Structure 1
Amino acid sequence: MPVANGEVPVLIVGGGPVGLTARALLARWGVQALLVEKHSELSPFPRSRLVNVRSMEIYRQLGLAAEITANAFRPEYGRIRFRDTLHAHDFATAAMIGINAPVPETPVIGAVTSQDRLEPTLLAATDAPMRFGVELIDLTEEAGSVVAVLVDHQSGEETRVRARYVLATDGANSTVRQRLGIDTTGPGAMGGFTTVVFNADLDRWCADRPAGVYFTAHGLFAPLYPEGGWAWFVPTPEDAARPDWPGLVARALGPGADVQAEVLRVQHWVMNAFVAERLRHGRILLAGDAAHAIPIVGGMGMNAGIADAHNLCWKLAGVLHGWADAKLLHTYETERHPVAHRTLRQAVANTHLMVRVHNQRREQLRTTSGATPPPMELPWSDRYFAQLGLVLGVTYHSDAVLTDGTDSTDGTDSSASPEPPDTGTDYVPTAKPGHRMPHLWLSHNRSTLDAFGEWFTLLTPDPTHWERHTTAPWPVRIEALPGKHAERCGLRPHGALLVRPDGHIGARWCDRPPSGSTLHQALAAITGSVRP
């Protein structure tokens, strides 16, 4: 077979939401990337169903939030409902906080939307090269690069691509991770499941009680698109080779439903729960499901992967553009690995709670002896599945974060707060280094989060003073922070916050900096630069 050769700064392996987001971010940051996807097209299956507020903040930065929202369900679908059958009444319900209505902690609202509706938007976000039907079959690290061997499934042609870095976003069964011999930790496979995509008229039971997810005793039902379509998620039957899927769907809808289901597609999959032992191997980095496979309850897996890409891509851009040292990439694993473990623990806990709901309901039905039981109180608070503490309260501790000596609440820092609880329920905004910069309105419809981009942002109530500080060669923009916000962020009149391109605070000076070289030194330290 003929072998062609090529070179690219970044090779992305895997064309799901995480790989596509990384492709868009790198393009925005001026880095050439090639994305290869072994399948011949984007996946036709709904898969992930939720874009949380942190992901939507990232897509707002990319200019994609409005289109994603336009293609998604209305906010009232940001709710989960529990029923004995789909055509029964709710015995419990809960809101998806941050999805069903705005929350003051962010300028965006999350969205209930299917992954196959999200991916075309991400694909169209940039014209960076992407090759469908091309699979990575081997890779070798060499001095200063990685050589990947790719095969085109249609032509059979092999291509050798030399990349400065490889980003593996190729899923829970990652070829790259397996080639590198990186092991995983966690529960592992939690069972086989099947997704059945079908058309049916279910409006009579759902139109006036909308939800993004209906949990029933016979599986999980989810509306797919505002214009129609449904998915049924169920443990894979023992004989799944040639079952009567329309009949199974009809029976799962419950006795007396009398609904004809037109089955369109069926997919079998394994729900995995693990975290890779390492997220980096030399010039090869893992993100998304390749780095951490998260159970679906709570909708955190895809969103954690999008945050991975957001954390990593500005660092790759800095290294490739020359204003950051390669050791900055060490901080990717240092910062994201703990988040992956915490997210996995939360998703497993969510799964156990869902099982507990159904067990309690079965017991309730058993003890009422055929009578209609009363509504059931869920075994969690209304904000439990909000998990804003996990998605907005992530704190990074690494060499890319400079502490400012206010780690304890001592009365001098109005923004100081403890680490969020492990449930991820509560989020207390704080402007301490390592945290996501809080959302504060700078002007009408312009948030502090809108000030961030392909640069470092210096937020200060005294821009004139800080403009005298030298920042070359790093990209830096200085932004005025109104005095009322400065006080909330623990800043005096001449203080400042240095915010990284990913929106996390890299450094804070509560008052006037000690010298004219303070900002230069901070940027050098955060980016691992050896420049004087």
Structure 2
Amino acid sequence: MAVQNFDMPLANVDTEVLIVGGGPVGLTARALLERWGVRVLLVEKHRRLSPFPRSRLVNVRSMEIFRQLGLATRITAAAFAPEYGRIRFRDTLYDRDFATAAMVGINAPVPESPVLGVVTSQDRLEPTLLAAADAPVRFGVELIDLTEETDSVVALLVDRDNGDETRVRARYVLAADGANSTVRQLRGIDTMGPGALGGVTTVVFDADLNRWCARQPAGVYFTAHGSFLPLYPEGGWAWFAPTPEDPARADWPGLVSRALGPSAEVRAEVLRVQHWVMNAFVAERLHHGRILLAGDAAHAIPIIGGLGMNAGVADAHNLCWKLAGVLHGWAGPSLLETYETERHPVADRTLRQAVANTQLLLQVQNRRRDQLQGAEAAPDRIELPWSEEYFAQLGLVLGVAYDSDAVLNDDGTPPEPPDSGTDYVPTAEPGHRMPHLWLRPNSSTLDTFGERFTLLTPDPARWERQAIAAAPWPLGVEALPREHIDFCDLRPHGALLVRPDGHIAARWRDHPPSDAALHHALTAITGSTSP
């Protein structure tokens, strides 16, 4: 990590992409764009990375993306062991579980992916993402105005320490500046959805809770008095609860200790307190001229189910190769329009799923409250209103299907999006994420994507000739073992064209229909004017 870059003077800076916001989404975009050779500047109004745990779950799809960036092993090493991939419901933290459920893809490997998601804290994840690239970052620098010009955007920035103002000219602006996005507000982009759901307080504290938790680990313990979350493998806790009416006068150590339960006899040592608003909305637009929204700026997702940050990482993964293509000249500007076409429906479905998750959680808590208030003794267990597929989200995580000009469907029929996130059925239909298939020991199909288009074919020699003629697009050819051709609905000379983000862009079931088939397909997919 080139620390000297972080303090570079901003006077008269030109860059290809200005990223506004230094959370996981902005930092992921910075790393992806640097891999593509794009000049990037990231600015973050806060003076340092957040010290709060915030997002807690890195799901399977995000870990696949981080595996492409070479970060998965490092992230896993700082995270909890797989047995923490579970939620537990208790009346108080010291009571027994009255319900529990596994986080699928977190608590144990799934055959649909070569990686395992993890429970970790955002303040552990962000330093790893920051160190993943050398592109310059400026903390304590706030965006205060934007002016769109014909071929660029001029951003007015202010240094929050000394008040100095600077103008930065960028070809594009990627707004990853959170639910209260300044960029979104400056462009007048409205939002759709319930909006603010209520105030929440996060209390980070130290306490010895091993006697109730060590033998029954979990990523989250839901209780009637708030949610308790272990923060790091070596210790530390967080308590999430509704913000009280007068938070400035609150006795936070006392509140946490009482929330633990009268029999706990534990005094919490409070370290940090953060008040925030849980939002639920999707921006009306994700693309405004040369400005693109990602992460919470594009969609604020309630925290139940851990979908929000992961949806933002997927935004960046979808967008960055498209930005690189336009900036490097092998894609037309129309390719960027497919970002909104593809990701806006996903944001809508993700918001609906998170709201459903919240309703499911309330069902459990309300049912338990009714039991405790009944005349008879409450049972030790209650049946959960969902399957073991933690809040029914695996299909939403891995089953995303895109329908846009950047996908050539076999017969003109758009891919079917999942009705819900419950089930994931791997498929090699265009528009879908290319399924994980082992090409050879320890090498997945997913390992062949990231910085180029990829042709997966059982007949590489035949397609190599097409690939050589496919300039200027970055393209590689990978042999697909014949044991997988039936699953991919290919014949011995067929091929799948997979985009850099791992989604299938086109499929030829048999040999190429013409010598220019691949060239024509890439021209159409990327909106290119190349001959």
Amino acid at match of 1:473: P
Question: What are the residue-to-residue correspondences of 1:40-55 with 2, within 5 Å?
Answer: 40-55=47-62
Given the alignment, which residue of 195, 203, 207 partners 1:200? 207
Q: Distance in 2 between matches of 1:426 and 1:285?
A: 31
Looking at structure 2, the residues matched to 510 and 396 of structure 1 have their Cα atoms a distance apart, in angstroms, of 20
SS in 1 for 2:158: strand
Match of 2:429 among 432, 452, 470: 432
Q: Residue 285 of structure 1: which of 272, 288, 292 is its match?
A: 292
Deviation at 1:367, TM superposition (A): 1.9
Q: C-alpha separation between the residues in 1 aligned to 2:413 and 2:214?
A: 49
Equivalent position SS for 2:236:
strand
Matched residue, 1:465: 462
Task: Indicate which of 228, 236, 247 corresponds to 2:235.
Answer: 228
- Map of 1:362-381 to 2, 5 A cutoff? 362-369=369-376, 371-381=377-387
Structure 2 equivalent of residue 521 of structure 1? 520
- Whether 2:342 is the aligned partner of 1:335: answer yes
Say whether the 8 Å CA contact 1:98–1:386 is kept in structure 2: no
Aligned pair count? 521
Within a 5 Å distance, the mapping from 1:438-449 to structure 2 comes to: 438-449=435-446
CA–CA separation in structure 2 for the residues paired with 1:182 and 1:112: 33
Q: Distance in 2 between matches of 1:418 and 1:189?
A: 31
Tell me whether 377-386 or 500-509 shows the greater mean CA deviation.
377-386
- Distance change >3 Å, CA 44–CA 323, structure 1 → 2: same
Q: Give 1:365's aligned amino acid.
A: L
- 1:373: how far off? 2.1
Q: Check conservation: 2:19, 2:30, Cα contact below 8 A.
A: yes
Residue identity in the other structure for 1:160: R
For residue 390 of structure 1, what is the aligned residue in structure 2? 396
Could you say which residue in structure 2 is the equivalent of 1:414? none
* 1:225 Cα deviation after fit: 0.2
Are 1:492 and 2:491 counterparts? yes
Q: Could you tell me how far 1:155 is from its partner in structure 2?
A: 2.0
Q: 1:179 is matched with which residue?
A: 186
Measured in 2, the distance between the counterparts of 1:203 and 1:476 equals 52
Could you list the per-position Cα deviations for residues 71-111 of structure 1 after superposition, in whole angstroms to 9, with x for gaps in the alignment? 00000000000000000000000000000000000000000
Displacement after TM superposition at 1:368 (Å): 4.8
Q: Work out whether residues 103 and 390 of structure 2, in 8 Å CA contact, stay in contact via their aligned partners in 1.
A: no
Q: Which residue of 2 aligns with 1:21?
A: 28
Q: Mean alpha-carbon deviation: is it higher for 517-526 or for 237-246?
A: 237-246
Amino acid aligned to 2:224: A
Q: Does 1:91 align with 2:134?
A: no
| Segment drifting more, 163-172 vs 382-391 | 382-391
- Within 5 Å, give how 1:498-517 maps onto structure 2: 498-517=497-516
User: Does the Cα contact within 8 Å between 1:389 and 1:421 map onto a contact in 2?
Assistant: no
Conserved in 1, the CA contact under 8 Å of 2:140 and 2:159?
Answer: yes
Superposed displacement of residue 471, structure 1? 0.8
User: What runs of 5+ residues in structure 1 fail to find an aligned partner?
Assistant: 409-416
Give the letter for the 1:51 counterpart. V
Is the 2:101–2:390 Cα contact (8 Å) retained in structure 1?
A: no
- What stretches of structure 2 of length at least 5 have no aligned partner? 1-8
Any residues of structure 2 matched to 1:249-260 within 5 Å, and which?
249-260=256-267
- Per-residue deviation, 1:192: 0.4
Matched to 1:463, the amino acid is P
Distance in 2, Cα, partners of 1:431 & 1:425: 19
CA change 1:126–1:79 in 2 (3 A) is same
- Is contact 2:102-2:390 (8 Å) kept? no
**Matches for 1:146-161 after TM superposition, within 5 Å:** 146-161=153-168
Separation of aligned partners in 1, 2:317 and 2:197:
29
Residues 340 and 3 of structure 1, relative CA distance in 2, 3 Å threshold: closer
Once the 2 structures are TM-superposed, how far is the Cα of residue 421 of structure 1 from its aligned partner? 2.3
Q: State the SS of the aligned residue for 2:198.
A: strand
CA displacement, residues 282-333 of structure 1 (integer Å, 9 cap, x when unaligned)? 0000000000000000000000000000000000000111110111000000
Report the AA paired with residue 130 of structure 2: L
Give the match for residue 420 of structure 1: 418
CA separation of 1:94 and 1:503: change in aligned 2, threshold 3 A: same
1:460, 1:495 within 8 Å by CA — same for their partners in 2?
yes
Instruction: Measure how far apart 1:406 and its partner are.
Output: 8.0
Q: Is residue 2:135 matched to residue 1:128? A: yes
Q: Give, as a single letter, the amino acid of the residue that structure 2 aligns with 1:500.
A: R
Contact kept? 1:300, 1:347, Cα under 8 Å: yes
The answer to whether residue 400 in structure 2 is matched with residue 402 in structure 1 is: no
What SS does structure 2 have at the residue aligned with 1:8?
strand
CA distance in 1 between partners of 2:358 and 2:168 (Å):
41
Provide the rounded CA distance (Å) in 2 between the counterparts of 1:374 and 1:120: 42
TM-score in terms of structure 2 length: 0.97
Kindly tell me: are residues 440 and 406 of structure 1, through their superposed partners in 2, closer, same or farther at Cα, counting changes over 3 Å?
farther
Identity of aligned residues (%): 77
Q: How far did 1:374 drift? A: 2.5
The Cα shift of 1:230 comes to 0.2
For 2:417 and 2:14, the matched residues in 1 are separated by 43
**Structure 2 CA distance for aligned equivalents of residues 214 and 269 of structure 1:** 20
Contact 2:371 2:378 in 1 (8 A): no
Please tell me whether the aligned partners of residues 72 and 226 of structure 1 are also in contact (alpha carbons under 8 angstroms): yes
| Contact 2:386 2:392 survives alignment (8 Å) | no
Matched position secondary structure for 1:241: helix
> Paired residue for 1:413?
none
Partners in 1 of 2:411 and 2:381 — Cα distance?
A: 50
Please state how far the C-alpha of 1:365 moved relative to its aligned partner.
Answer: 1.2
Please give the per-residue CA displacement for 1:433-487, whole angstroms capped at 9, x wherever unaligned. Answer: 0000000000111000001121000000000000111110001000000111112
